[in-house]
Structure 1
Amino acid sequence: MDPELNEIGRQQAVVVAHRLSKEAKPAAIYSSDLKRAAETAEIIAKVCDVSNLVLNEALRERHMGYLQGLKWDDAVNKNPDVFRGFDIFKITEGSDPDSRNQEIPGGGESLNQLTERCVSYLNKIAQEHIGILQT
């Protein structure tokens, strides 16, 4: 899903931006490329006077497959056979280690896929900024 920020979200982004503007100026701002995240990042970048704004799909939230945009009960009611025995909420500490590899039906990401995607990109960002310190 890719909704735009609503007016409350814009107001909240401005409040956060003003708070962050009192901190050390970052070398860059990285965000998901989805509309609401990108707009939030743009507001923060403008208020904080940061010109290096990077939007990247690697920072998107987890792809939820058939669940994308649906509440759990709605997804189960829509596709009961697909979700029988599948519960994304049972993946907790101490659960079956293979459960982190369980993809969400309909092309959704497993927790391991999500972790790999995000951590890989965050490591890339860290490598790009080694030794950079701005105040």
Structure 2
Amino acid sequence: MRILVQRVTSARVTVAGDIVGEIRPRSQGLLALVGVTHDDDAVKAQRLAEKLWALRILDDERSASDIGAPILVISQFTLYGNTAKGRRPTWNAAAPGAVAEPLVDAFSAKLTALGAQVQTGVFGADMQVELVNDGPVTVLLEL
């Protein structure tokens, strides 16, 4: 799994013009773009959720768990795009939806169980994501 994390002051995801998840403007939150590959499992999803919840990238080296920062989780298969050859990325390393969706759900569920205020996009949908990156701070998490 790959989680591209952005520290944000606001973020929203819309599908067909409807807001399906958002972090309203406030002090800080995290946008987590989640990519899944073929050998990922629920254990990795849970460990990455724990890592994200405790990651100290907010102001004054605090974590989302320290201040109750909201987290917006968006599935993002393109994190496993391979651009090594040619001009067209391949997506072979990305897990198919039947494998990826339950793991993105497990990641979100673990964050919720840890106490996070979690909003999500819609798996497999054509989503529009808007955000205000704070800092900017962007970190890639992997196991």
Q: Which has the higher contact order (CA 8 A, sep 6+)?
A: 2
More strand by share: 2
More helix by share: 1
Superposed pair shares fold, TM > 0.5: no
User: What's the TM-score, normalizing by structure 2?
Assistant: 0.29
**CA radius of gyration, larger in:** 1
